[in-house]
Homo-oligomer: A and B are copies of this chain.
Amino acid sequence: MTDTQPRVSKSTLAYDWIHRRITAREFGPGYRLVLGDIARELDMSVVPVREAIRRLEAEGLVTFEHNVGARVALVDQSEYVFAMQTLGVVEGAATGLAAPHLTEEDLLRAEEVNQRLTALLDHFDPHQFTRVNQEFHAVLFERCENPHLLDLVHRGWTRLSGLRDSTFDFVPDRSRESVKEHADIIRLIRDGADPLEVELAARNHRWRTVNAYLARPHHE
């Protein structure tokens, strides 16, 4: 009995494959996604690949031009700033909603991750810092009970991580303040602060990062 049971559709396979490569930055911004090539690489026809790309398009990871093709979305500075601003809004809200549900265990874990961030401050590697930084925030917002909102947060992170290098490439100094602000947020939550206060702390934390980026010395 030959195994002709595609547990998951090829369309989904292609979607995951491309998505992974974009977020892993193997396909950088502007990278041309040629249907035929991808289909050949994945040993399938172009049809499932087309569908996968349509979905990625709807998520904003890919731009599509009629009769020309798809490429990984590239973001200019203003778009990047807008995306960060939006992420601040939704992530802040998610964190605020999650705060009352965080256990002491969660907070200890958050502190542990923040410790790792502190350790990274010497021998600074922007990309690794960004990765661990995301892990930190995930601990805080994942308990949010609103799946819609959580989905928006995830998409926001995905876009940013896929479409642009670490912000800390440009403003490494911001990382030190960032770690301190993390501690502040944890303290607020542990003290049982008003969720709105937690939300605004999380939001402003992110917005300050954007502002630091905008105010950086070298505008190339």
Q: Which residues of B contact A47 (CB under 8 A)?
A: 47
Q: A58-B59, A90-B90 are in contact. Are A82 and B9 (CB under 8 A)?
A: no
Q: Which residues of B contact A89 (CB under 8 A)?
A: 89-90, 93, 149
In angstroms, Cα B52 to Cα A55, docked, is 9
Q: Which residues 88-106 of A sit at the B interface, judged by CB distance below 8 A?
A: 89-90, 93
The answer to whether the Cβ of A40 comes within 8 Å of any Cβ in the partner chain is no
The answer to whether the Cβ of A218 comes within 8 Å of any Cβ in the partner chain is no
The answer to whether the Cβ of A143 comes within 8 Å of any Cβ in the partner chain is no
Category for how many chain A residues contact B: 20 to 34
Cβ–Cβ contact A147 & B90, under 8 A: no
Q: Which residues of B contact A208 (CB under 8 A)?
A: none
Q: A89-B89, A89-B90 are in contact. Are A148 and B55 (CB under 8 A)?
A: no
CB-based closest 4 A-B pairs: A58-B58, A89-B93, A86-B148, A55-B58
The answer to whether the Cβ of A71 comes within 8 Å of any Cβ in the partner chain is no
Q: Which residues 39-77 of A sit at the B interface, judged by CB distance below 8 A?
A: 47, 50-51, 54-55, 57-59, 66
Q: A9-B66, A47-B47 are in contact. Are A86 and B149 (CB under 8 A)?
A: yes
In angstroms, Cα B57 to Cα A93, docked, is 25
Cβ–Cβ contact B50 & A82, under 8 A: no
In angstroms, Cα B51 to Cα A20, docked, is 21
In angstroms, Cα B199 to Cα A196, docked, is 12
Cβ–Cβ contact A82 & B148, under 8 A: yes
The answer to whether the Cβ of A211 comes within 8 Å of any Cβ in the partner chain is no
